[in-house]
Amino acid sequence: MRVNLKDLSFADLDSLVAQMNEPAFRAKQVRDWLYKKNCCSISEMTNLPKQLREKLEAGHCADGLDAVRKDASGDGVLKYLFKLRDDLLVETVYIPEEGRRTVCVSSQVGCRFACAFCATGGQGFSRNLSLAEILNQVIEVRKDPEAGEPTNVVFMGMGEPLDNFDAVTSAVAILNSPDGFNIGGRRITVSTAGMAGQIRKLAETGLNMNLAISLHSADDKTRSLLMPINRRYPVDDLIRACADYPLKHGRKLTFEAILFDGVNDSPQDAAKLIRALHPVRAKKINLIRFNPVSEISFRPSPPEKVNAFKGLLERAGIDATIRVSRGADIAAACGQLKSDYFGVTR
């Protein structure tokens, strides 16, 4: 099977071109085709000598993804279902907003963490996505005339990004690099369910991006009910890793909390959250309205309770916002993504 050029790091692409006795600038030309011109075929790289294209094609490709379905929401959100080389499926969401156009990418097919409120978790884990499969999600959205040029990328689709550490961190580096997609670090967000050990490892990479943590509750019993991963990385351990995370100037860690009626939305829950997050100096909290998933029994917290919860956080000096998750009418909102084989139109 030929290796996708988008699976190579910049250093590996440089070596490949050098091994072919080509000057170094050829690697830059290949990168331009891949990441600036959305190229999905080596034969389209017309400023490369024919001989080099043939050498590259002998063992490599630049394939994109095959969109087998696209849904458009009434609020402008687009959801893509992509078929991978092994016929597995992943979803990607495009979210246009005032001043930004975000691509929400998946990092795994399925997920091994089985959060109780998440459709992806309910389908089990198939495999990690490769670097090329992650980057191609952004490229395919860029190629779609119905979507505007993406300004932001969030790793909040299917899967736990830090469970696919190497591919996700390599993708962040290429998304951020001026020789890659040239998307600023403030516009790239990796969201984790709270793999404390991987957060420490991520801190050592020095990558330029935002980090969001799906916390949902600071009470171990409640959090373990919502997120079984909490039994492995309890709240204390997770918050310590977050407090130690080196933030770039002016950045804040984002903590996400989906509020469920009668589960984690009481004033006592807010007080616990405020106490637990005390060691994290620069932080903000997104309170997210839950989008019901048919097979999941939790109900969204009513708006008045969400507002009261936000008020308590603000009174404690914490920057809090209420986020409305978009695309619920096409099951594209937070927690609703799954590889739905049924209903795929080919």
- Distance (Å, rounded) from C-alpha 104 to C-alpha 154? 5
Please say whether the dihedral angle defined by the alpha carbons of residues 203, 161, 227 and 298, taken in this order, is positive or negative: positive
Q: Contacts with ligand SF4 in 231-290 (CB under 6 A)? A: none
* Identity of the residue, 34 or 162, whose beta carbon is nearer to ligand SF4 in the bound complex: 162
Q: In Å, how far are 162, 221, 241, 308 from 320, measured between CA atoms?
A: 25, 24, 21, 11
Q: Which of 84, 93, 193, 320 binds ligand SF4 (CB under 6 A)?
A: 193
Answer yes or no whether residue 115 interacts with ligand SF4 by CB under 6 A: yes
The number of beta carbons lying within 10 Å of the beta carbon of residue 205 is: 12
Give me the phi and psi of 146, to 5 degrees please. -75, -20
- Distance (Å, rounded) from C-alpha 232 to C-alpha 113? 11
What is the closest distance, in whole angstroms, from the C-beta atom of residue 114 to ligand SF4 in the complex?
6
Q: In Å, how far are 78, 192, 213, 326 from 102, measured between CA atoms?
A: 11, 18, 18, 11
Looking at 16-24, 40-48, 113-121, 216-224, which segment touches ligand SF4 (CB under 6 A)? 113-121
Query: Catalytic annotation on 40?
Result: no
The number of beta carbons lying within 10 Å of the beta carbon of residue 20 is: 13
- Distance (Å, rounded) from C-alpha 21 to C-alpha 52? 10
* Identity of the residue, 209 or 293, whose beta carbon is nearer to ligand SF4 in the bound complex: 293
Per-residue x/- marks for ligand SF4, 299-338, CB under 6 A?
Answer: ----------------------------------------
Query: Catalytic annotation on 104?
Result: no
Q: How many residues bind ligand SF4 (CB under 6 A)?
A: 11
Residue 260, both tokens = 């469920």
Q: Contacts with ligand SF4 in 83-112 (CB under 6 A)? A: 111
Q: Contacts with ligand SF4 in 140-159 (CB under 6 A)? A: 158-159
Q: Which of 7, 22, 133, 160 binds ligand SF4 (CB under 6 A)?
A: 160
Please report, to the nearest 10 degrees, the dihedral formed by the alpha carbons of residues 203, 34, 86, 338 taken in order.
60
Catalytic residue among 91, 133, 140, 160: 91
* Identity of the residue, 76 or 292, whose beta carbon is nearer to ligand SF4 in the bound complex: 292
- Residue with the shortest CB distance to ligand SF4: 121
Residues engaged in binding ligand SF4 (CB under 6 A) = 111, 113-115, 118, 120-121, 158-160, 193
Catalytic residues: 91, 334
